[in-house]
Amino acid sequence: MPQTFNVKMVDDAREALRGVVKETPLIFNRGLSERYGAKVYLKREDLQVVRSYKLRGAYNRMRYLTPAEKKRGIVCASAGNHAQGVAFGCAALKVHGTIFMPKNTPRQKIDRVQALGGKWATIELTGDSFDEASRAARQMSESKRMTFIHPFNDPLVIAGQGTVGAEILEQFKECPDYVVVPVGGGGLVAGLGAYLKAKCPSAKIIGVEATGAAGMYRSLKAGKVVSLDTVDTFVDGTAVKTIGDFAFSIARRVIDRMVVVPEGKVCQEMISLYQRDGIVAEPAGALSIAALDELAGKIKGKTVVCLVSGGNNDISRYPEVIERSLVYQGLKHYFMVNFSQRPGALRRFLDEALGPTDDITLFEYTKKNNRENGPALIGIELRKKEHLQPLLRRMKKLGMSFELLEKDSPVFRFLI
């Protein structure tokens, strides 16, 4: 097995994967192009056989399994997308695989893994994060001598992910100015970035992470791999505490800039992609588009490729996506209001505090006997974020006792 990585491995993988992975379209996006004054193309890996690019790396690694390794079976850990790639590979290559996934993995991804792997895949739900699931998978790999298929820190996996870059150049037939890539463990940006830099040295590789899982950003800043203390798992496709050290050794040479975007911004772009283009992206799949505002001054007049990395999104998550988007845009706020328990206090709040377009979306209140005042939890949605300060002024003018809940408040985190 190779312990190093080179660009020829990507070309070899590209030929080997023809007929296995789908050549996903590279589509010009008029709306984004007009917004940023650039030529913006979307590389639609959400349309892959397993709805993400992860099949490329997983299958490329698995095709090197020896007969003895196939007999013992394989094991992997994944937040969902790598698991689907491995499950597909297990069924295609007739290899038994045990797939460890975090307990909080969306149901839709779990069902897809089982459907793709069929009798060849066994799912184990373990831990609350990818890293915890990975430890369990490693233990099984060592105790039963089963081959571990790493999701990102393996030269053959990196080469497989690099075939996304090879496809972009085949489809484009010219060098893009910018390629914007979501970053989790680092395998995709390492493989794609190395290939594009070898073929198009002028191309800028932009990595994107969510605020709650900015492992590559932190590591590049420190000059070494940094393990995060905590990870926000909302953008589950890239929620990794520790990026791959091998992937990092490549990525640090090819990434021109890292952009970190809030999870709420990712939600805003997920909704926009659906409403504007009919694209159902998972959170990680919207990361590259969510980074464009940060790049706006640089990409004007340039050719930009954004990788839509996956579309494995559970529809039951959309209420949370909408909520996070509204909060990020400053359109949704929560208050603890201490109401006087005399008759008419609530009516006065509705008539004199709320503006004509302010809407109450949550109201929790229980009257307490023998008390002059009682607290109420109120959620208010605004039509424009500029309407918040006038609302606060009206509430103060009424002499109301209230607290605007901040994002670090335990109650706020409970609500969101």
Instruction: Give the DSSP letter of residue 236.
Output: G
Phi and psi torsions of 189, nearest 5°: -65, -30
Q: Which of 54, 197, 204, 241 is catalytic?
A: 54
Is 22 assigned a catalytic role?
Answer: no
HSE-CB of 44 using CA atoms within 13 angstroms: 16
Residue 239, amino acid: A
Query: Is-contact 98 143, C-beta < 8 A?
Result: no
For 405, the 3-state DSSP assignment is coil
54 is known as an active-site residue: yes
SS3 (DSSP) at 197: helix
Would you tell me how many other CB atoms lie within 10 Å of the CB of residue 315? 10
In angstroms, the Cα distances linking 99 to 71, 242, 330 are: 16, 20, 40
CB atoms within 10 A of CB 208: 32
CB 158 within 8 A of CB 187: yes
Identify whether the C-beta of residue 157 lies closer than 8 Å to the C-beta of residue 58.
yes
Which amino acid is it at 144? K
50 Cβ contact list (under 8 Å, min separation 6): 81, 84, 85, 87, 88, 112, 116, 312
Range list of β-strands (E), 54-177: 74-77, 97-101, 121-125, 147-148
Q: Identify the active-site residue in 141, 219, 309, 325.
A: 309
Residue 137, phi then psi, degrees to nearest 5: -65, -40
Q: What is the DSSP letter of 383?
A: S
Q: Is 306:180 a contact under the CB 8 Å cutoff?
A: yes
Positions marked active-site = 54, 309
